[in-house]
Structure 1
């Protein structure tokens, strides 16, 4: 009874319950017969729907439990809103690949409507989304995404990161220290320059990103999304909007600079490319690259483009602390392939099958981003059901990455999932941390390169161990911190330099 416990733990929310009871006659979820054959699901209660059955902090695990009773496609009621949930590899792939145009839209999630107003790359729809996404992908490629020049930039950043870690001289430091390097790679692409790790603007952005991501995982923010008309009861979404506006102030400064000198200096960044495109399309009757869309697009990449890779790197170090034998085996393999004093190249992953398997297994095991909702763009017939246009659809990536029909030991950290009997790396079709279809992660090639190079470079130089007094067996991975992503709980690590 997670929702009821939450409400009763805060006296002010008694008023919320009363208000909801008053509104029940105006908003009915009911379980009456529908004119459409929606998938089955648990019977909803008035007003709260099925919220009382959900673990509000780990919705992904709740969805997997429902799938055991109702099958891979079922309906849930989040307050007054119906959502169709897809679980398991077959159902998720079927929808996102074979019905990609039908499930291509995003639903109007209240907090993101407040933040982006339908603009940007991630939560926009229709022609605005298509045009902005195409432009963003092309711009990132032009700026080096997936190319050798970016690999050199990442290797340079590894050097800065290693020097900052050496400064701790083997003493414990926070896992979040690893966020600086991958975040800097994204910022360099967005703004045209890397930051010194002590730069005030850089530190401010890191702090704001952290606060925004934590607020996005707040239970009270989920309640705002379920019942936005009762927003005056909640504060978390107001705090979130304030933090986002502080990020926008910084973004506006970079846009002003780009408008002043983009033509003189050439296109050095994604911001420059957006400004140039805006000026190029200025004479068009409908210029989709207006200021609001520019700011929203950069904001999307500032947030999601930094959080995912940076958090995965934290998990990678934590899992190496937890499994020292796996860490040692990775280091031995790198030592056999990479010349002393050099860096592993992205091409070396073909010669480092075990290292590559470990990185893939980290991403599978942590289920970093459990799901991002979709929305039916048209009335859709799917697997014997009729799903009306505009219905929220939740493709559960957690259920795919932990699908027992595709993974031998789904709940164990096992690099063998990606190795054949001869120890060679094998691809697995159910490995979908970047999602599938037309809404898959735009930065997938960048993320893969970053993770491999940062992970290999760090393990070349250091062995990571728990702080004194903590054994590897004491490290608890079972309760991640729920933010926009699933982060590891705040912990410390020690980096022991290797010869």
Structure 2
């Protein structure tokens, strides 16, 4: 049965399939943009027999996720995710589980220096390893995918597991490969079909059937690390996230309904590892590609690095305030990439009156983030790469409320502070030490993105780095 009542208007659904045929082979954000022109910034779209409320544009998304943040703060049930998470962990949980895991994860990240000196030192240390690997390419063409992925993975690994892994560590490589494979499946048409028709897709062979075994191997990795941690735990001197979790587990061991269980520990680690790797490494890869396309932008960034940092020390977060052009370039890379074109679905905590409509409790909500990041009033020529989008006329950095690559409100990205530090420190360290050398003429470089239904990724490419 289709729910009518006072839900927002939208295209008429077909029996059983709803509106999904409108998305066949298309980018969801582009299709949603067309629908919003007819029905407005808040409309209903049916995935099968399930109504989803779509939010399009800055005003609607801010009003929902920020001004009515509590009402829109639940995480929607996503069948393919539920198969592996079963309501555990942080990213896809709800209620008491989410509140406690979110609060614990944020405070632990902060205690281990998110936004403080100690994490900055971890990133700087990893940047040194990355620079050594780049030197070892000896000016020959290479694919940056693995180096950028291993570097960003090691930062989150140092917080979760208390150590970094060698770039040739087979267990580490296998964990990353499993995590990447699941991201591909979740963002593929197979993943979307499973989420729309779970009962049917359970019986259909395809890549979506690989999610469970992949997740089991990721859990096995975390459990091995946890076993080692448990044997050497010193409650007076926690080394990392796992130690902190064990300490809290011990404190609450007599509480029957404690959320601090092994299941939640493992799920939080898998959530944070995946979230702390994919988007940051993809942004780095895309940024290095864009700078090859526009060597004049690369030169201006390097001039600013030379002027503010010099060559005798590593860049630090304290430099960022004196580097408005570099900061603007990094923001523009994130805006231009818009890696999550459509946010991970939210859900209504309760029946909510919103803009004259009644959205029932549990209804899925899709915020179309790219509609904010590519708003042509805030960012003239949004499809063009232009650091001027984040610069005032006098060359100072220009903040924008429309900058939402990490979403907004209570369900925004837990690790966004860490991601911002990584992007600044990795980019500036690379450009301080190397000139980027494309293997084709800059004007022939293809910066178009690989577009999935709700995500965008840089294409594979090779290039060279030349020591400065």
TM interval, short-chain normalised: over 0.9
Alpha-carbon offset, residue 483 of structure 1: 8.5
The gaps in structure 1 that reach 5 residues or longer are: 1-27
Q: Check if 1:428 corresponds to 2:392.
A: no
Does the aligned pair in 1 maintain the 2:84–2:212 contact within 8 Å? yes
Q: Check if 1:172 corresponds to 2:141.
A: yes
- 2:449 — aligned with what? 479
Q: Distance in 2 between matches of 1:98 and 1:161?
A: 42
**TM-score, reference length from structure 2:** 0.96
Does the aligned pair in 2 maintain the 1:174–1:492 contact within 8 Å? yes
- 1:218 — aligned with what? 188
CA spacing shift, 1:274–1:485, aligned 2, 3 Å: farther
- 1:444 — aligned with what? 416
Decide which of 1, 24, 36 is 1:67's aligned counterpart: 36
- 2:102 — aligned with what? 133
- 2:175 — aligned with what? 205
SS in structure 2 opposite 1:206?
A: helix
Does the aligned pair in 2 maintain the 1:85–1:394 contact within 8 Å? yes
Q: Distance in 1 between matches of 2:395 and 2:4?
A: 54
Does the aligned pair in 1 maintain the 2:45–2:51 contact within 8 Å? yes
Does the aligned pair in 1 maintain the 2:436–2:464 contact within 8 Å? yes
CA spacing shift, 1:35–1:397, aligned 2, 3 Å: closer
Mapping 1:232-381, distance limit 5 Å: 232-263=203-234, 266-370=237-341, 371-381=343-353
Alpha-carbon offset, residue 339 of structure 1: 2.4
CA spacing shift, 1:485–1:209, aligned 2, 3 Å: farther
- 2:156 — aligned with what? 186
CA spacing shift, 1:278–1:484, aligned 2, 3 Å: farther
- 1:491 — aligned with what? 461
> What is the RMSD of the two structures over their aligned residues, measured on CA atoms?
1.5
Moved more, 59-68 or 312-321: 59-68
Decide which of 39, 55, 66 is 2:8's aligned counterpart: 39
**TM-score, reference length from structure 1:** 0.91
The gaps in structure 2 that reach 5 residues or longer are: none
Alpha-carbon offset, residue 130 of structure 1: 0.4
Decide which of 377, 381, 385 is 1:409's aligned counterpart: 381
- 1:142 — aligned with what? 111
Runs of 4 or more consecutive aligned structure 1 residues displaced over 4 Å after TM superposition = none
SS in structure 1 opposite 2:115?
A: coil
Alpha-carbon offset, residue 488 of structure 1: 0.7
Answer 1 or 2: higher relative contact order, Cα 8 Å, separation at least 6. Answer: 2
Q: Distance in 2 between matches of 1:155 and 1:479?
A: 29
Mapping 1:1-150, distance limit 5 Å: 28-29=1-2, 34-56=3-25, 58-150=27-119
